Amino acid sequence: MKYLITLLFTLLTITQINAQDATAILNKVDDNINSNTSITKSDMIIYGRRNQRTVTSVGYSEGKNKSFSEYLAPARERGTKMLKLEDNLWIYSPSTDRTIQLSGHMLKQSLMGSDLSYEDMMENRKLTEMYDAKVIGEETIDERKTWILQLNAKVDDATYDSRKVWIDTERYVPLREELFAKSGQLLKRTELKDVKRIDGRWYPTKMNYKDMLKDGKGTDFVVLEIEFDVEIPAYIFSKGALKR
Amino acid sequence: MRIAIKMAFKNLIGAGLRTWLNVSVLAFCFIIIVFYNGFLNGWQEQGRLDAKNWEYGNGQLFHADFDPYDVFTIKNSHGTLSEAESENLTPVLIQQATVYPNGRMNPTIIKGIPLDQDVINLPINLLTKSDANLPVLIGERMAQSINVGKGDNILLRWRDRNGTYDATNITIAEIFDSNVTTIYNGQIWMPIEILRQMTRLTNEATMYIANEQYQPSQVDGWEFHNLTELLKDFDSAVQAERIGSMIVYSILLALGLLAVFDTQVLSIFRRQREIGTYIALGMTRQQVMKIFTIEGGMYSVFAGVVGLIIGAPLFYYTSSQGINIGRSIEGMGVHLSDIIYPIYGATLIIGTFFVLVFSATLVSFIPARKISTLNPVNALKGKVQ
């Protein structure tokens, strides 16, 4: 959950047409959402064709480049740990007592069968480095007035050629994001709901992440508990923590 | 020797049903061994030919980083050859993608090959007849597995050379059938120029297929694999099958030879007066042993003749009409036709015949050795020794 929130919120600072507006909006989003560190306990609800399953995890993060997650439930996933440091991702599986580093094509695989891939968690660059942005309109979502920001890639190697982000005009919280292919085909949509005031910040506590090319209801992320700017021991962000 | 053969022949004919029972068992073994080896020969020949015609051409030049068994190598395994280097070579560009037929996600491989290629039998030129915006060719079994038909549109998602996602609808313009599973399993074929535009891999290829005129030469960053190398895995699979089937033959042959052995033991026990008479008439024990050994060996000669008489129509029919094995074992990763035409060469038949004669003679000799210790007087009296 924390990865996605970070992905959506921390990277937003824009230039170009309506640059001042877009940049100001995104900076405020950044200020509202981001913290130096956070500890989040969340449920990931994965919807299948006939059933659904819930994976509970606790995640620690420091900035954009360091994060550590431990899966608590169900029993099958319990003890699985994941460490992200810069562009590297390691996974520890208790059943094999092995730590493996995910790279290359392995990053494209689904995270625990969800609509999210490991690669979706690995984007470290700021959106401002990759996209030109402008405010293209306003829209009301769940009775909240939003600005619609259009982001177009300005570098060759952006994963998505364009994005649209809907930002709450009062709370400076994204309520929706859509990711597009070069052809303009909508690929993924993220909906953020249940925005709550936590430690002086407006924070969405429920998120649905959906691969729009697939049937199904996507994957839900629900924040159960979250703490901002707490001290996290340095060893948490080390490979040694995976086997602890 | 001639007398020994004559006597052995007469003795066997005189033994009647006992002889023909042994001969039947050995003839059955002979037919089964020839038949199954012929089947494997046919499979191997057809498989090699199909693989050459549909997939390998006269060899393939791989990009040095490309490993056809490792999907992770596909992304970065592409390069360009100069015009001179690519003479007599047909480029194939391979990339990973995902198709979404009816909202289901199916990882797939997209392969691009020139529309005018004739190095393999892939009917890619059929796409020229299509009016679709992005026509593609898929195998019949691929179509079944993702549940699409000719004319269907499905969404394809892929990444360009920089990793940026793109997606568009493709049209299943043609569906082809082939015995070579590796050219259609999880694959979509399209014109290489279109795939190059889609992925921004201008003039690049993952591998090249050689035609008959191609002369392999050292090309930096590329590795040539001739047909023998490319077919190594297939040949190994057939060889493993041969070894496995030898166990079955051995059991079958052992049962047949056991019958011959039993018959020989009984003969020597029951025909002691006859043995004594031969010795009394002046034959040496070795000569008598030879008669009995030849008798045993002659079972296999009879079995070979009977096996050929019974088996010839079967061999002829199966080699001309083939054996329809259906598609029950498709997807095993080996080239396998629906109909296999067995190949029964002279080497196979004669070789099997000699194995049968040798083993039957050997098991006849073992009990016949007892003759060398017989007391001729007691033997004449018919006393059990």
Could you give the percent of chain B with pLDDT greater than 70? 96
Q: Which among B72, B102, B162 is the nearest to A104, CB-wise?
A: B72
Question: Are A185 and B168 in contact (CB < 8 Å)?
Answer: yes
Note whether B249 and B375 are same-domain residues.
yes
**Greater confidence, B377 or B125?**
B125
Q: How many domains does chain B have?
A: 2
Note whether B42 and B107 are same-domain residues.
no
Nearest chain B Cα distance for residue A163, angstroms: 12
Q: At what angle do helices B17-51 and B2-15 cross, to 10 degrees?
A: 100
Question: Are B100 and A156 in contact (CB < 8 Å)?
Answer: no
Position B367 pLDDT exceeds 90: no
Report, as an integer, the average pLDDT of B319-344: 74
CA angle at A229 for the pair A227 and A234, rounded to the nearest 5°: 105
Q: Does A161 touch chain B (CB under 8 A)?
A: yes
Report, as an integer, the average pLDDT of A123-152: 86
Nearest chain B Cα distance for residue A215, angstroms: 5
Domain hosting residue B130, numbered range: 90-208
Whether A12 contacts A30, CB under 8 Å:
yes
- CB burial of A180-201 (b: ≥16 within 10 Å; e: otherwise) equals bbbeebebbbbbbeebeeeeeb
Note whether B250 and B359 are same-domain residues.
yes
Give the model confidence (pLDDT) of B201-238 as tens digits: 999 999 999 999 999 888 899 999 999 999 998 899 88
Q: Which among A104, A106, A157 is the nearest to B164, CB-wise?
A: A157
Report, as an integer, the average pLDDT of B363-367: 86
Whether A126 contacts A13, CB under 8 Å:
yes
Pairwise CA distance, residues A107 & A112, whole Å: 12
Q: pLDDT band at residue A188, thresholds of 50, 70 and 90?
A: very high
Mutating which of A100, A130, A183, A212 best tests the B interface, going by the most B Cβ atoms within 10 A? Answer: A183
pLDDT for res B333: 54
Note whether B297 and B339 are same-domain residues.
yes
Q: Which among B71, B75, B166 is the nearest to A183, CB-wise?
A: B166
Give the model confidence (pLDDT) of B86-145 as tens digits: 899 999 999 999 999 988 888 899 999 999 999 999 999 999 999 999 999 999 889 998
Q: pLDDT band at residue B281, thresholds of 50, 70 and 90?
A: confident
Give the model confidence (pLDDT) of B244-275 as tens digits: 888 888 888 888 888 888 888 888 888 888 88
Nearest chain B Cα distance for residue A156, angstroms: 6
Note whether B253 and B304 are same-domain residues.
yes
Q: pLDDT band at residue A159, thresholds of 50, 70 and 90?
A: confident
Task: For residue A105, list chain B residues with Cβ-Cβ distance below 8 A.
Answer: 71-72, 74-75, 96
pLDDT for res A139: 94
Q: Does A33 touch chain B (CB under 8 A)?
A: no
- The residue of chain A with its CA nearest to that of B160 is A157
pLDDT for res A92: 93
**Greater confidence, B113 or A159?**
B113
Nearest chain A Cα distance for residue B161, angstroms: 8
ipTM of the complex: 0.77
Q: Does A48 touch chain B (CB under 8 A)?
A: no
Record the pTM. Answer: 0.76
Task: For residue B67, list chain A residues with Cβ-Cβ distance below 8 A.
Answer: none
Whether B337 contacts B178, CB under 8 Å:
no
Does residue B266 lie within any of the structural domains?
yes
Does residue B79 lie within any of the structural domains?
no
Could you give the percent of chain B with pLDDT greater than 90? 41
Give the model confidence (pLDDT) of A69-97 as tens digits: 999 989 888 999 999 888 788 999 988 88
Question: Are A214 and B103 in contact (CB < 8 Å)?
Answer: yes
Q: Give me the residue spans of the domains in chain A.
A: 2-243
CATH assignment, A2-243: 2.50.20.10
Whether A232 contacts A127, CB under 8 Å:
no
Report, as an integer, the average pLDDT of A137-165: 91
**Greater confidence, A64 or B309?**
B309
Report, as an integer, the average pLDDT of B24-28: 89
Does residue B318 lie within any of the structural domains?
yes
**Greater confidence, B103 or A203?**
A203
Does residue B77 lie within any of the structural domains?
no
- The residue of chain A with its CA nearest to that of B99 is A213
Whether B339 contacts B324, CB under 8 Å:
yes
Mutating which of A103, A120, A156 best tests the B interface, going by the most B Cβ atoms within 10 A? Answer: A156
- The residue of chain B with its CA nearest to that of A49 is B104
Position B176 pLDDT exceeds 90: yes
Q: Does A181 touch chain B (CB under 8 A)?
A: yes
Q: Enumerate chain B positions whose Cβ falls within 8 A of a Cβ in A.
A: 71-72, 74-75, 96, 98, 100, 102-105, 155, 157, 160, 162-168
Helix intervals (H) in chain B: 2-15, 17-51, 140-146, 192-199, 227-230, 232-270, 272-280, 285-321, 346-368, 376-381
Position B84 pLDDT exceeds 60: yes
Give the model confidence (pLDDT) of A12-63 as tens digits: 443 343 455 787 887 788 778 778 899 999 999 998 878 889 999 999 988 8
Pairwise CA distance, residues A68 & A2, whole Å: 10
pLDDT for res A15: 37
Task: For residue A212, list chain B residues with Cβ-Cβ distance below 8 A.
Answer: none
Give the model confidence (pLDDT) of B70-80 as tens digits: 887 888 899 99
Note whether B247 and B204 are same-domain residues.
no
- Cα distances from B112 to residues B92, B104, B187, in angstroms, run 5, 24, 10
pLDDT for res B327: 62
CA angle at B111 for the pair B105 and B114, rounded to the nearest 5°: 145
Give the model confidence (pLDDT) of A97-119 as tens digits: 889 887 766 776 778 778 887 77
Report, as an integer, the average pLDDT of B370-383: 75
Could you give the percent of chain A with pLDDT greater than 70? 89
Does residue B48 lie within any of the structural domains?
yes
Whether A147 contacts A163, CB under 8 Å:
no
Note whether B99 and B195 are same-domain residues.
yes
pLDDT for res A162: 94
Does residue B282 lie within any of the structural domains?
yes
pLDDT for res A108: 67
What string of DSSP letters covers B217-236? Answer: ---TTEEEE-HHHHTHHHHH
Note whether B294 and B338 are same-domain residues.
yes
